[in-house]
Chains A and B, each alone.
Chain A
Amino acid sequence: MKITIRLFAQLKELIQEQELMLEAREPVSCQEAALQLGKHYPGVMPLLQRSALVRNGVFVGADTLLENGDELAFLPPVSGG
């Protein structure tokens, strides 16, 4: 399965990408996707742990399973207004 990872704000800045692709042979949970990001990009984990997860525009929990074609966005703590 293949999914798109969307990054915003501090995460986008740290990783220097606004979009990444994740490919896996077995099903992947949001938590696993985050762990992989942490493995690829050292130093990102503390911020990921404080980020909200949005799958296809819907807030989800860490154990939500991803499906092929999904878009998973990581939202750092917001600061609008």
Chain B
Amino acid sequence: MPVPYEIPKGEMKYLTYETIKQAEFPGQARSSQGIGASLSFFGIVRDSHKGRKVTHLVYEAYESLAETMIEELLEKTGRLWPVLEARILHRLGTVEAGQIAVAIDVSSAHRDEAYRASRFLIDEIKSKVPIWKKEYFEDGIYHWGSCDHHARLSFPSLHEIQSLSSQRGDIKIFTPEKTGFSVNIQIK
């Protein structure tokens, strides 16, 4: 029996539907303890894709799992490098061209680990965390984003299925609304 995941209580820590303002990120003053380097990365919605004008992106996420995975990612980063402070904020919802989609801030004693940790964090977010984007073009057409990495194959998936047909006759699939219930009204 798997341990159920815990839905973060209260507000989300790493995901937001609010505009990320560069001047206000990371938002809290850095502790002065031993910090010699601080690096901020901002992923910005680019206004073009292969020559076509992009107007905005729309992000969605498996929110509870994304929060858990980003938290684990930060812990892993702290184990890999002597990072003193790190902060991540990723947008959900509509993000216009030119706006910040994701912000990452890393502080450490020396620049080497700050650069490595910052790069690691954005690469991992892009390849592993359950967040998806739709890219909208000027003419209203959109397409779903695709990750350049092939990290998806690092998760078990169904691509090894040999046979695509099911022999089971006892399985039903339905939408939750259609379960309904029947009411018997007897008029006497």
Contact = CB atoms under 8 A, between A and B. Distances in A.
Do A and B bind? Answer: yes
B174 A20 contact: yes
B48 interface: no
B132 A28 contact: no
Nearest to A30: B158
B136 interface: no
A20 B144 CA distance: 22
A57 B164 contact: no
Contact of A79 (B144, B155, B157, B165): B144
A35 B164 CA distance: 6
Nearest to A25: B170
A19 B65 CA distance: 16
Contacts of B59: 80
B82 interface: no
B186 interface: no
Interface of A: 4-6, 8-10, 17, 19-26, 28, 30-40, 45, 48-62, 67, 73, 75-81
16 contacts: A5-B173, A10-B132, A31-B158, A32-B171, A34-B161, A35-B164, A50-B159, A52-B157, A55-B2, A58-B5, A75-B62, A78-B127, A79-B126, A79-B144, A80-B59, A81-B101
